Copies of this chain bind each other. A is one copy, B any other.
Amino acid sequence: MNTVTGAGVNHDTEFLASEVCQICPTRETALFANIKPKDLDEMHSPIKYMICEKGEKLYGMNEKAEYIYTLHDGVVKLEQSLPSGERRIVRLLRRGDLIGVEAVTAAEYQHDVIAMTKVNLCKIPAELVLKFSARSAELHANLMGKWQDALTTSDIWLTKFSTGNSRYRVVRLLIWLSENCHHEEFYMPGREDIGNMLSLTTETVSRTIAGLRRDGDLELLRADRARVDVAVLKKIVKESV
């Protein structure tokens, strides 16, 4: 665990995004997709592009929420902890997702957000988004679309990742991970993190994954990279292939 306090963000890598927004790698899916270049200019960007290393904390629960982030590359986890000490990962975010949308409506962030890989993102003042969302119909629509996406994902996590036995849960997670990735091989989080997504212990996750490997349903490449045959996995959980 990287011992980073506070925002723990590498500020050296920040720079104004005014020129880069136009060639944004996530232009299609990001918050500002379809926004007229004129509108974009008008915001004359206090937007900052930045990089966050694996293990770093972007922000913590109950911190004052002032910025929204668009995620260009990498994976972050949204975590909440219970008074009893247990931690639960409530969502993973990746390319194209928004981090901390609650900054628009709420005063405080609702999660601990931690980079699971090296992460590229843009930091946008929430105020800016709020102001422009009232003016730009496109931005307004995009924003609602993002809320909707988050909620749909939440529902999936409830139905697919919190229901059924350990085998089903792990398999459903693997399907989701591989389908949300464009390559053959996909990012596979550590066993403890997987456990915190599925409400299982590391040991149970480890055993289940070992079982899938024995059956030839999962191939581990590196520590955090794997490959699966989605069709086979879907048969296991009886989903239509």
Give Cα A111–Cα B159 distance, bound, in whole angstroms.
11
**Chain B residues, Cβ within 8 Å of A159:** 80, 82, 88, 90
Closest to A142 in B: B105
Min CB distance A23 to B, Å, is 28
Q: Residues of B contacting A133 with CB < 8 Å?
A: 140
| Min CB–CB distance A112 → chain B (angstroms) | 12
Q: Give chain B nearest CB distance to A33 CB in angstroms.
A: 14
Q: Does A83 contact B (CB under 8 A)?
A: yes
Flag if B83 contacts A239 (CB, 8 Å).
Answer: yes
Give chain B residues whose Cβ lies under 8 Å from the Cβ of A182.
none
Residue-wise interface mask of A (108-126) relative to B, using a CB-CB cutoff of 8 A (1 in contact, 0 not)? 0011000000000000000
A155 at the A/B interface (Cβ < 8 Å)? yes
Residues of B with C-beta under 8 A to A84: 164, 168, 237-238
User: A148 is contacted by which of B88, B106, B162, B239 (Cβ under 8 Å)?
Assistant: B106
Q: Flag A135-167 by CB within 8 Å of B: 1 or 0 each.
A: 001001101110110111011011110111000
Whether, in the assembled complex, A134 has its beta carbon less than 8 Å from a beta carbon of chain B, the answer is yes
Interface size bucket, A side? 35 or more
The reply to whether B238 and A83 form a contact with Cβ atoms under 8 Å apart is: yes
Shortest Cβ distance from residue A140 to the other chain B in the assembled complex, whole angstroms: 6
Task: Tell whether, in the assembled complex, residue A162 and residue B82 are in contact, meaning their CB atoms are under 8 Å apart.
Answer: no
Q: In whole angstroms, how far apart are the Cα atoms of A159 and B90 in the complex?
A: 7
- Whether B110 contacts A155 by the Cβ 8 Å rule is yes
Kindly list the 6 A-B residue pairs having the minimum CB-CB distance in the complex, ordered from nearest.
A154-B154, A147-B147, A162-B162, A88-B159, A105-B148, A80-B159
Minimum C-beta distance from A196 to chain B (A): 9
Interface contacts beyond A83-B240, A147-B147: sample of 14 additional A-B pairs, CB < 8 Å, sorted by A: A83-B237, A84-B238, A105-B141, A105-B145, A105-B148, A110-B155, A133-B140, A134-B140, A151-B151, A154-B154, A154-B155, A158-B162, A162-B162, A163-B199
A147 to B144, CA, bound (A): 8
